[in-house]
């Protein structure tokens, strides 16, 4: 098969089954791979009658691991990765696939999403006082994108595997899609945004249902530190990060204690971070400064 659809599922079966039934008419002739990340799940019984490839984890491993498993199981050259609560609105996947034939450097494409009535899906990653920060942009015309959102994106399986897939250190959630796309940029590949496909996606419906807000924030901050420590290679930017770190810890932690606890969690995993950093750096071909400048020029036009 040319295209496989990978859907990681963690509980919340009602919304997943509703989205699957809805999306099938948009995914004709596609292989559909379901990775069930809940060891106590009865999802397999509920999928009787559906033509899908089903895999169940013996324990909850998080988004990154579940996606990596699904990609390895998939037989397609291209992978459409969808969250379990994403609904196809319009567009033809086969039409978007042509973009990969036009550009051999293309790694992934991210799409327009409707979230609570808001348009989202195109993003900007920038450097601010020693830290990477990100935000959405309102320009939804075709062009480059800082990252392909894991909730609804299309990528080439071969390049995904070459990059090592999602880094599982980010488990259970957040930053893994930003990290993968950034590593793709640093390896000389491209990530695009296309309004050719439109999805409806209520972000965090599963995460907020099963994790406390405090824990979600701590993990998000922890993974933000992971991202910098694993990926940043420009010596000057790394120096700025070290110099600004005490200031940011003091000022941000006073407003949000989760930032400090996220830093502590990141420090506890620092030996593992170094191992990931060593492995990731072998594929670096483009500097951080060049990528940051390109995002600034081509995404926000400055």
Cα–Cα distance between 176 and 46 in angstroms, integer?
Answer: 29
CATH of the domain at 38: 3.90.550.10
Q: How far apart are CA 149 and CA 67, in angstroms?
A: 13
Do 284 and 165 fall into the same domain?
no
- Predicted TM-score of the model (pTM): 0.94
Residue count (the chain): 302
Q: Which three-class secondary structure state does DSSP give residue 297?
A: helix
Q: Of 208, 227, 253, which closes a domain?
A: 208
Q: Which domain holds residue 127?
A: 3-208
163 with 281, same domain: the answer is: no
What six digits make up the tokens of 22?
């809805």
User: Sorting pLDDT into bands at 50, 70 and 90, what band is 283?
Assistant: very high
For 103-120, what is each residue's pLDDT tens digit? 999 999 999 999 888 999
- The C-alpha atoms of residue 226 and residue 248 are separated, in whole angstroms, by 16
Could you tell me the two tokens for 139?
A: 């320009």
**Nearest Cα to Cα of residue 220 among 237, 198, 203, 241:** 203
Pairing mode of beta strands 190-201, 106-115? parallel
Q: Quick: pLDDT tens for 207-238.
A: 667 678 899 999 999 999 999 999 999 999 99
252 with 123, same domain: the answer is: no
């Amino acid at each position: 098969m040319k295209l496989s659809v990978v859907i990681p599922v963690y509980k919340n079966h009602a919304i997943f089954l509703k989205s699957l039934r809805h999306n099938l008419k948009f995914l004709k002739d596609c292989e559909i791979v379901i990775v069930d990340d809940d060891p106590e799940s009865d999802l397999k019984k509920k999928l009787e009658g559906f033509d899908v490839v089903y895999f169940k984890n013996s324990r909850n491993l998080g988004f990154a691991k579940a996606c990596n498993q699904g990609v390895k199981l998939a037989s397609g050259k291209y992978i459409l990765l969808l969250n379990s609560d994403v609904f196809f609105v319009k567009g033809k996947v086969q039409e978007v696939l042509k973009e990969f034939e036009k550009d051999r450097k293309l790694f992934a494409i991210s799409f327009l999403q409707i979230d609570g009535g808001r348009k989202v899906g195109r993003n900007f990653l920038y450097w601010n006082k020693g830290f990477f920060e990100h935000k959405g942009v309102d320009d939804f015309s075709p062009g480059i994108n800082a990252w392909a959102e894991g909730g609804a994106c299309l990528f080439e399986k071969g390049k995904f595997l070459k990059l090592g897939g999602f880094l599982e250190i980010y488990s259970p959630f957040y930053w893994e899609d930003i990290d993968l796309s950034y590593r793709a940029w640093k390896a000389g590949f491209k990530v695009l945004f296309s309004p050719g496909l439109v999805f409806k996606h209520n972000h965090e419906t599963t995460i907020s249902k099963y994790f406390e807000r405090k824990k979600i924030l701590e993990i998000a901050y922890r993974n933000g530190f992971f991202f910098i420590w694993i990926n940043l290679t420009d010596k000057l930017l790394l120096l700025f990060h070290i110099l600004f770190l005490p200031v940011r810890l003091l000022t941000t932690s006073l407003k949000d204690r989760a930032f400090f606890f996220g830093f502590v969690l990141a420090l506890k995993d620092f030996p593992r971070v170094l191992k990931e950093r060593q492995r990731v750096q072998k594929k670096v071909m483009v500097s951080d400064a060049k990528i940051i400048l390109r995002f600034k020029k081509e995404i926000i036009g400055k």
